Amino acid sequence: MNDRRPRGATDPVPRERSGAIGRRFPRTGTEPVTARSPLRLRRLLSAVFLPLFAAGAALFGVWAADTGPGESPGRDTLVALAAVCAALALLAAADLLAVSRRLRRERGTGPSRR
């Protein structure tokens, strides 16, 4: 058969089967049939907040390194703020990666894991 799709391309995965193994929970009947996760909004928010949290982690880290004894805010406070910003940056990066993979799989341009 002469299929004109590029090698390795697969059919898009419908949104109702977009989880790792399909639906995680059975429908209760109260949610709309066409309800969808706002993936594009999640991608936008992750793309905006990833550099902000990374910059905040760097700023607080440099500030903590420059802080002397007895200064306010203290070094421990600044290190804690840098750690929180770094953790949020990692969370935003992981969410951006997961959402991008999911959107790519739905469009049918990436590898499919069925």
- List the structure tokens of 12: 């898009």
Give residue-wise pLDDT tens across range 18-68: 555 555 566 666 766 666 678 889 999 999 999 999 999 999 999 999 998
Give residue-wise pLDDT tens across range 85-108: 999 999 999 999 999 998 888 887
Let me know how long the chain is: 114
Q: Are 92 and 56 in contact (CB under 8 A)?
A: no
**How much is the pLDDT for 47?**
96
Asked whether the whole model's pTM tops 0.75, one would answer no
Q: Identity (one letter) of the amino acid at 34?
A: T
| Whether the predicted pLDDT of 8 surpasses 90 | no
